[in-house]
Homo-oligomer: A and B are copies of this chain.
Amino acid sequence: MSAPREPRPSTLAQSLDTIRTIAWMKETARQARAESRVIGFVPTMGALHAGHLSLVERARRDCDPVIASIFVNPKQFGPKEDFAKYPRTLEKDAAKLAAAGVGALFLPEAAEMYPAGFATYVNVEGLSERLEGRTRPGHFCGVTTVVLKLLEIVQPTFAYFGRKDAQQARLITIMARDLNLDTQIVLGPIVREGDGLAMSSRNAYLSAEERRAAAVVQRALAAAGDEVRAGVRDVLRLQEAMQRVLAAEPLARVDYAEIVDAATFEPVLRVARPAYVLLAAYLGRTRLIDNMFIEPVAEGADEFAIQL
């Protein structure tokens, strides 16, 4: 099959190939695979921050080339969600990706990804309906569908996702396992602002006052972490510790504060195995999520390592 060569490779930033068609993205990736190169892939919705760039950096250590994508995926936004106003900062994003050593940027239009008659959806049953999925029905079906398409197009050896979206990362890992994909899903750590707020493209929606208040989310997780370090294993007590911190911030309204098994994302009553402490809260009209990963320092140990 001969792929249509893009008539004039558009360059948003020097040294960065910008690819707008699926056919040419496939051909570019195929050439890299034919040269036995290890492709690392960092899919994003743009509005890039240091969290995204840490994924690129990690990919650069393992792979050459690193391919990134920017696609604000309409299928993962609900009808009342922020698709139209989601921040779009393409010129700046391209410059950041070029500086970070990304070799090719895949930048498809919605009509390229979802042409007329598009009808195929992939869904991870169960987990995709809980937690974030309960507040955002259909969201994760949109996420897994677009990620599967992107993985089929690029066929990377490694694909990188941020741990801030822990449930999303778990769903994608389950999908890749269940569908026997060759791609390894790699999680990067949460990158935080100076006051502890997890970096997110949606932080741009916060007013100055909300922005100051938003650090409460990470402080609540940290309070639960302190309890774990002090020997608390009971989930209700950890939730109380978070609620105490959150209640002191009048601008914050909790959506959920759950502690779940790291593999199944089922709620646990006591912390014993690797677990996520998941927090979702509204600051004004902006919904923020954050989490903390805790795991025994050794199999069966009662001391926990904490990643916030």
Instruction: Identify which of A8-16, A96-104, A174-182, A192-200 touches chain B.
Output: A174-182
Q: Which residues of B contact A182 (CB under 8 A)?
A: 26, 152
- How far does the Cβ of A184 sit from chain B's closest Cβ, in whole Å? 8
Asked if A22 is at the interface of the complex by the 8 Å CB criterion, the answer is yes
Question: In the complex, are the beta carbons of A120 and B179 less than 8 A apart?
Answer: yes
Q: Which of B117, B118, B120, B264 contacts A123 (CB 8 A)?
A: B120
Question: In the complex, are the beta carbons of B125 and A152 less than 8 A apart?
Answer: no
Q: Which of B152, B174, B180 contacts A119 (CB 8 A)?
A: B174
Q: Which of B26, B121, B127 contacts A180 (CB 8 A)?
A: B26
Flag A161-177 by CB within 8 Å of B: 1 or 0 each: 00000000000001100
Residues of A contacting B: mostly? mixed
Question: In the complex, are the beta carbons of B126 and A152 less than 8 A apart?
Answer: no
CB closest residue in chain B, given A141: B123
CB closest residue in chain B, given A118: B178
Q: Which of A265-283 contact B (CB under 8 A)?
A: none
- How far does the Cβ of A116 sit from chain B's closest Cβ, in whole Å? 11
Q: Which residues of B contact A123 (CB under 8 A)?
A: 120-123
Asked if A153 is at the interface of the complex by the 8 Å CB criterion, the answer is yes
Q: Which residues of B contact A122 (CB under 8 A)?
A: 120-123, 179
Q: Which of A70-110 contact B (CB under 8 A)?
A: none
- How far does the Cβ of A19 sit from chain B's closest Cβ, in whole Å? 14
CA distance A152 to B26 in the complex (A): 16
Asked if A212 is at the interface of the complex by the 8 Å CB criterion, the answer is no
Question: In the complex, are the beta carbons of B120 and A178 less than 8 A apart?
Answer: yes
A119, A120, A148, A152 pick with most chain B CB within 10 angstroms: A120
Asked if A149 is at the interface of the complex by the 8 Å CB criterion, the answer is yes
CB closest residue in chain B, given A181: B152
Q: Which residues of B contact A181 (CB under 8 A)?
A: 152
Question: In the complex, are the beta carbons of B120 and A180 less than 8 A apart?
Answer: no
- How far does the Cβ of A148 sit from chain B's closest Cβ, in whole Å? 6
Asked if A204 is at the interface of the complex by the 8 Å CB criterion, the answer is no
Q: Which residues of B contact A152 (CB under 8 A)?
A: 179-182
Asked if A247 is at the interface of the complex by the 8 Å CB criterion, the answer is no
Q: Which residues of B contact A26 (CB under 8 A)?
A: 180, 182
Q: Which residues of A contact B (CB under 8 A)?
A: 22, 26, 117-127, 144, 148-149, 152-153, 174-175, 178-182, 264
A119-B124, A152-B179 given; 15 more Cβ-contact pairs under 8 Å = A22-B180, A26-B180, A117-B174, A117-B264, A119-B125, A119-B126, A119-B178, A120-B123, A120-B124, A120-B175, A121-B123, A122-B179, A152-B180, A152-B182, A153-B180
Question: What are 24 A-B contacts defined by CB distance under 8 Å?
Answer: A26-B182, A117-B264, A119-B124, A119-B125, A119-B126, A119-B127, A119-B174, A119-B178, A120-B125, A120-B175, A120-B178, A120-B179, A121-B122, A121-B123, A121-B125, A122-B122, A122-B123, A148-B179, A149-B178, A149-B180, A152-B179, A152-B181, A152-B182, A153-B180
